[in-house]
Amino acid sequence: MNKVSVAVLGATGSVGQRFIQLLENHPYFQVTHLCASENSAGKKYGDVMRKRWKISSDIPAYARDIIVTTPDPSRTPGVKLAFSGLDASVAGEVETAFANAGIHIISNSKNHRMAENVPLLSAEVNPDHLSVLSFQKTPGKILTNSNCTIMGVTISLKPLFEQFGIEAVMLFSMQAVSGAGYPGVPSMDILGNVVPFIGGEEEKAEIEPLKCLGKVVDGRIVHADFPISAHCNRVPVFDGHTVCVSVKLKKKATEQEIRKAWTSFRGLPQELELPLAPPAPIVYREEEDRPQPRLDLDTGKSMATVIGRLRPDPLFDWKYVVLSHNTVRGAAGAAVLNAELMVRKNLL
Amino acid sequence: MNKVSVAVLGATGSVGQRFIQLLENHPYFQVTHLCASENSAGKKYGDVMRKRWKISSDIPAYARDIIVTTPDPSRTPGVKLAFSGLDASVAGEVETAFANAGIHIISNSKNHRMAENVPLLSAEVNPDHLSVLSFQKTPGKILTNSNCTIMGVTISLKPLFEQFGIEAVMLFSMQAVSGAGYPGVPSMDILGNVVPFIGGEEEKAEIEPLKCLGKVVDGRIVHADFPISAHCNRVPVFDGHTVCVSVKLKKKATEQEIRKAWTSFRGLPQELELPLAPPAPIVYREEEDRPQPRLDLDTGKSMATVIGRLRPDPLFDWKYVVLSHNTVRGAAGAAVLNAELMVRKNLL
Amino acid sequence: MNKVSVAVLGATGSVGQRFIQLLENHPYFQVTHLCASENSAGKKYGDVMRKRWKISSDIPAYARDIIVTTPDPSRTPGVKLAFSGLDASVAGEVETAFANAGIHIISNSKNHRMAENVPLLSAEVNPDHLSVLSFQKTPGKILTNSNCTIMGVTISLKPLFEQFGIEAVMLFSMQAVSGAGYPGVPSMDILGNVVPFIGGEEEKAEIEPLKCLGKVVDGRIVHADFPISAHCNRVPVFDGHTVCVSVKLKKKATEQEIRKAWTSFRGLPQELELPLAPPAPIVYREEEDRPQPRLDLDTGKSMATVIGRLRPDPLFDWKYVVLSHNTVRGAAGAAVLNAELMVRKNLL
Amino acid sequence: MNKVSVAVLGATGSVGQRFIQLLENHPYFQVTHLCASENSAGKKYGDVMRKRWKISSDIPAYARDIIVTTPDPSRTPGVKLAFSGLDASVAGEVETAFANAGIHIISNSKNHRMAENVPLLSAEVNPDHLSVLSFQKTPGKILTNSNCTIMGVTISLKPLFEQFGIEAVMLFSMQAVSGAGYPGVPSMDILGNVVPFIGGEEEKAEIEPLKCLGKVVDGRIVHADFPISAHCNRVPVFDGHTVCVSVKLKKKATEQEIRKAWTSFRGLPQELELPLAPPAPIVYREEEDRPQPRLDLDTGKSMATVIGRLRPDPLFDWKYVVLSHNTVRGAAGAAVLNAELMVRKNLL
């Protein structure tokens, strides 16, 4: 199989770095172009990143000598697909320009997420939403993944939604600093502290799961219909968003039924054995004090969603804790998995 | 006024240290006895604590030369009242022994909290519960204060409960490590991590506010009647429990009405100008990202409850964030305030 | 006594905030002007700082309504003295402009520190250096204090230098994040990590103590003459720089002699009972594991230098640990103390 | 090749857990016995460790069903070699008992480290010291590895010692909490704090490198002869000891010569391509702010020593920073590498 030539947009940022790491030796994709702002353009990626690479392993060798270009489709000849980790301030315009130029976009940015014919794709949750891509008018199609906090929550809700129906969800997040990018959260704000506010986060948390769990009707995505209330907090954790969830179901379910719904859950990525798919999308921990970022973040090469502490809720029906890796499963990894799905569904 | 001679039980522990700090130069009380386990008995408190004093200021001079005794009422002659910061494993028996010997107990331990004629007192919230003390059969009376997490939450609920009625509460805590005492939480468990479980904490959080907000009927405390659901978490913060609250009211209220209910709230401690009473029991912060432990923990000499982020809740009516100092307002400070109230109500 | 009208330059920064806190109700000084960049000019300080005030207590009431101006001497009528917490990128020029306009400068910035007729003043260490002020040609005089890391180290060296002479010093710092200002160190760089590099810090640490310990000869400061080697590191601590020191003395001294040299040390600030002077400039802790930022930072209202762990050094003569509060004793507090000394020496 | 049957002593502790992780699928060794205290004996390792396994990955499947036994050679039939992560309070006696029973001991404990015919082995540094094993009188031989802090430092010194000679070393450590085992350091002591004291650590740091760098003379190890001064500190880092080093050489060397000495350094483990040997024992980072635990701890599967910041020292000749993984390279990994060397040298 010939590898697909791809670009990474926003290659110097936190999500961009993860893309570059996850795409090393990828069986489907070959990164040929790295795009970033004018400050970096014209220089070798390895030189630009000497002091900015923040992942605990070296810059992959393949990326070091690529000359960075600005994110302009005329500068990425041969590229069929671009992974975007662009900042929201520029993502909208740049991604549209690539789509107009016939280059598909797999975006981690929020700009196009809520458009009715742009899938907010979580590969195990709503692969059927890919059908709306054909309703986009640009020659290149735009595919997005959801907010990093919401990714794991939505995966945890999917089997419950399918089997029991959901009436209401309340969620409370404790989010890692890497979710804010680099330099992001100043250390003076978060060392030994918690900040009970993250701009725009609760709004996303209260709507994105509804789109992911929605249905395609006449080429448009119609949202699921239940209320969500979110409390979002920043805590002094490096990677890994932990979320406490209370859920009210439409149909009563026992603890055993819910746990079985989770542990038996498999999606299209598992069926197709996509390269980045974890063997099980959901791993349930039996211990009373799990999941924890320190201990559970590597599960399924950081692509699994880890759940624990299922117990009755005096107000709603059940409560539990869900953890997922915010920059892998919640961002770059989810986007690459989505791209893998596009390849296997012959959508490139 | 002659000062009341008091003892501190569990004087070497975290709460005991706070008692000793807060009782320095107290206008009502004179600490004459410090009680701890056999290991410490017979030695000067200052020597025992050389490496165990964990508060950022020196051991008060008055305490250094007191010879530690075991917690036995026969060893505390002249003492009328004992502050207990004993571990739950011994608190029940020891506190009962003191009460039998005619020494009043102000306890921070959980053992007697739920007895129907033992007040779970938060001085601003339910001073009327002191009336049940006379129904206790021992010559010394036992008075308790609530769990550290619940203290601030209950204060925040009190004006809402009075003015609008409460139908349901969901709460999510991010609790400091000092709440687990010393040595308490191992650093390997919490550095850069969160632990979504604290043994026994959710059970307390779901019942104690109901007792505090209850009514005295025929010498017994009858609980308030609304459901509470709690998710309790440990975070890498030294002092200060932050709690996200969603509340459903019986009677609709506007944002302005709720904020006014909080900021105008005053209790008996304020009226009586008790030494440890903060000028305002509740302080509301206008900033979008407050309260935070780093910035708000000193408010009202750490005796105030700080609230922020009042906003509509898509599921319940309102959501907000509440912070209180877990070892001051949530433990030793609350107990001293309760004792001050007993003095002024002539209950000693 | 009429209070001296003063301005704070760089009033919105970390050091500026400390100046404003420490100057509240100061017996000698009245802050009448707050200067900051154009972005803040024309607005009330309280409004500008709503989300930027990072000290754990509210903005002092006196400062909230002051209208911020740009740091231009024509905009600070009546001001006799300006405290500068300006960034080094602008401090040189601005401070010179104020001095030319006849306004004295007490600066925490590095720009003028090494000029031979500008004292690098630590009020207990080298008050005699004030004599070089008269050799400055501007009508306003410039007085600086040393780098935050070096402050405590130099105080610890002063009695040893006087009594035993110093041949060599090796020091190793573990510095708090507040030393880098705000936003300063990104949390992704320092959470659960150490960074063994702080730009320009080792260079300052290797020369500034020599100037502080130097002599005035013909109106110029002649440096002390011994080699210093410094290793500077950033650690995840909020406030408080801890420094390990190995020192080689000229004249042999016993442990008891050294400890006595420290504990009996008093300077001019103590003699004059300056408002911000700690009762003892140096406090020695007997415990084997002290000083620690958590436990010792408040000593002497954060103006004392805390030393511990004096023990023989297999290579040099002695080793010990020294802690001082980097934004109080190491910056704003030192500057205010220096200004107090100027007042009492009739240098204003 | 038939695998050697091995036991892990102290299997429930921090170092024991690392042994179990590193020995999974090991080409030379098969873990057949896990030994721990009476509390754990008779139970399956997986059950004992449900809440005590602290490494970020699951307990290896092979270990879960092994029934834990007490550390008694009569209970480990067939075992030829035992890896010891025992606490120093029991290690001396137990290890001797195993050696008497003809079972070789690879120990991470300090008890036998300083005996003159017990090698303190760092496989790349002093493999020739294995020759003293034959001078031990027990049928089983005891082999130790050095203290976790010292391991990386000694590796960094080895090429300098060989090529230029060493006159003096001063070192300052910033040590991770995992070095104290579990529960180890209480979070209240280290969150946002540094503790400038670790019991017994400086003593080990000042002598162990001298033994490692020593020579075998008549079956005894004669120490290298230069003074070392150590300042040891605990910092809020999970894994990874960072050490600042100043070194005085006997023969002058240029920066280039020193860097070449490090980067060209290879030892017997590299030559023999031992399973756990890193390709290069020393990796030098060019960036001005490296090494850092966050970014460099995985280097060479955590078996490499990472050095950076080589620069002239105003007092000695050179200073630099060295990082190694304290529980892998500094403990269990070093011990396994030593055992691999014994196998290949036919010493089992």
The residues, ordered by sequence, that sit 6+ positions from A98 with a Cβ below 8 Å of its Cβ are A9, A71, A73, A82, A105, A140
Helix (H, G, I), strand (E, B) or coil at B331: helix
pLDDT band at residue C152 using 50, 70 and 90 as cut-offs: very high
pLDDT of residue A1: 67
Listed by start position, the domains of chain B span 4-147+331-344, 148-325
pLDDT of residue D54: 87
- How distant is the alpha carbon of residue A320 from its chain centre? 21
pLDDT of residue D272: 98
Q: What is the DSSP string of A83-138?
A: EE---HHHHHHHHHHHHHTT-EEEE-SSTTTTSTTS-B--TTT-GGGGGGGGG--S
pLDDT above 90 (res B57): no
CA A74, A78, A84 angle in degrees (round to 5)?
70
By residue count, chain A amounts to 348
pLDDT above 90 (res C58): no
pLDDT band at residue D168 using 50, 70 and 90 as cut-offs: very high
Q: What is the pLDDT of residues B89-132, one digit of tens each?
A: 999 999 999 999 999 999 999 999 999 999 999 999 999 999 99
**Once rounded to an integer, what is the mean pLDDT over residues B150-179?**
97
Q: What are the C-alpha distances in Å from D208 to residues D96, D204, D213, D229? A: 21, 6, 9, 12
pLDDT above 80 (res B1): no
pLDDT above 80 (res B85): yes
Nearest to C247 by CA among C234, C266, C233, C261: C261
Alpha helices in chain B (DSSP H): 14-22, 45-48, 61-64, 88-100, 148-163, 187-190, 201-212, 255-263, 268-271, 293-296, 333-344
Q: What is the DSSP string of D11-61?
A: TTSHHHHHHHHHTTT-SSEEEEEEE--TTTTTSBHHHHTTTT--SSSPPPH
pLDDT above 80 (res C57): no
Distance from CA of C109 to the nearest CA of A (A): 21
Contact D244 C172 (CB under 8 A): yes
Contacts of B246 in chain A (CB under 8 A): 170, 229, 231
CA separation for the pair B96, B233 (Å, rounded): 32
CA separation for the pair B121, B274 (Å, rounded): 15
The pair phi, psi for residue A186, each rounded to 5°, is -65, 140
β-strand partners of C283: C306
Lowest mean pLDDT segment, chosen from A45-54, C299-308, D37-46: A45-54
Q: What is the pLDDT of residues D52-98, one digit of tens each?
A: 898 887 899 999 999 999 999 999 999 999 999 999 999 999 999 99
pLDDT of residue C8: 98
Contact C289 B54 (CB under 8 A): no
Element (DSSP H or E) covering residue A207 = helix A201-212
Residues of chain B by 3-state class (helix, strand, coil), percent to 5 = 30, 25, 45
- How distant is the alpha carbon of residue A231 from its chain centre? 19
Distance from CA of C193 to the nearest CA of B (A): 10
pLDDT of residue D194: 98
pLDDT of residue C51: 83
Say which CATH architecture domain D4-147+331-344 belongs to. Answer: 3-Layer(aba) Sandwich (3.40)
pLDDT band at residue B43 using 50, 70 and 90 as cut-offs: very high
pLDDT above 70 (res B75): yes
Contact D298 A56 (CB under 8 A): yes
pLDDT > 90 fraction of chain A, expressed in percent and rounded: 96
Which residue type is seen at B19? F
CA separation for the pair A158, A122 (Å, rounded): 10
User: Torsion angle, CA of B97/B100/B102/B105, rounded to 10 degrees?
Assistant: 50
From A35, A112, A129, A148, active-site residue: A148
CA separation for the pair B20, B25 (Å, rounded): 10
Distance from CA of D26 to the nearest CA of B (A): 27
Q: What are the C-alpha distances in Å from B307 to residues B123, B251, B282, B311, B328? A: 18, 21, 7, 12, 17
Instruction: Say yes or no: do domains A4-147+331-344 and A148-325 share a fold.
Output: no
pLDDT above 70 (res B49): yes
The pair phi, psi for residue D139, each rounded to 5°, is -65, -40
Helix (H, G, I), strand (E, B) or coil at C97: helix
Neighbouring subunits of C (3+ Cβ pairs under 8 A): A, B, D
pLDDT band at residue A77 using 50, 70 and 90 as cut-offs: very high
Q: What are the C-alpha distances in Å from B226 to residues A311, A312, B248, B320, D262? A: 20, 17, 10, 19, 69
pLDDT above 70 (res A334): yes
Contacts of B287 in chain C (CB under 8 A): 50-51
User: Is the pTM of the predicted complex or chain greater than 0.90?
Assistant: yes
Would you please indicate which residues of B are annotated as catalytic (active-site) residues? 148, 241
CB C105 within 8 A of CB C82: yes
Locate the chain A residue with the closest alpha carbon to D191: A192
CA D101, D345, D280 angle in degrees (round to 5)?
120
pLDDT of residue A249: 98
D244 is catalytic: no
pLDDT band at residue A55 using 50, 70 and 90 as cut-offs: confident
pLDDT above 80 (res C147): yes
Neighbouring subunits of D (3+ Cβ pairs under 8 A): A, B, C
pLDDT above 70 (res C1): no
Strands C4-9 and C81-84: parallel
pLDDT of residue D1: 67
| Paired tokens of A121 | 């794709």
Nearest to D281 by CA among D146, D106, D149, D152: D152
| Paired tokens of D162 | 């060989």
**Once rounded to an integer, what is the mean pLDDT over residues C283-309?**
96
B56, B169, B172, B318: best mutation site toward chain A, by most A Cβ within 10 Å?
B172
ipTM of the complex: 0.95
**Once rounded to an integer, what is the mean pLDDT over residues C118-122?**
97
Alpha helices in C84-147 (DSSP H): 88-100
Cβ-based interface (< 8 Å): residues of C facing B = 50-51, 54, 56-57, 191-192, 238, 287, 289, 294-298
Contacts of B186 in chain D (CB under 8 A): 182-187
CB A216 within 8 A of CB A134: no
**Once rounded to an integer, what is the mean pLDDT over residues B73-82?**
97
Strands C166-175 and C228-234: parallel
Element (DSSP H or E) covering residue C170 = strand C166-175
| Paired tokens of B258 | 């709720």
C212 is catalytic: no
Neighbouring subunits of A (3+ Cβ pairs under 8 A): B, C, D
CA separation for the pair A281, C345 (Å, rounded): 74
**CATH 3.30.360.10 for the C148-325 domain, yes or no:** yes
pLDDT > 70 fraction of chain B, expressed in percent and rounded: 100
Torsion over CA: B106, B111, B117, B123 (sign): positive
DSSP D133: G
pLDDT band at residue D247 using 50, 70 and 90 as cut-offs: very high
DSSP D176: -
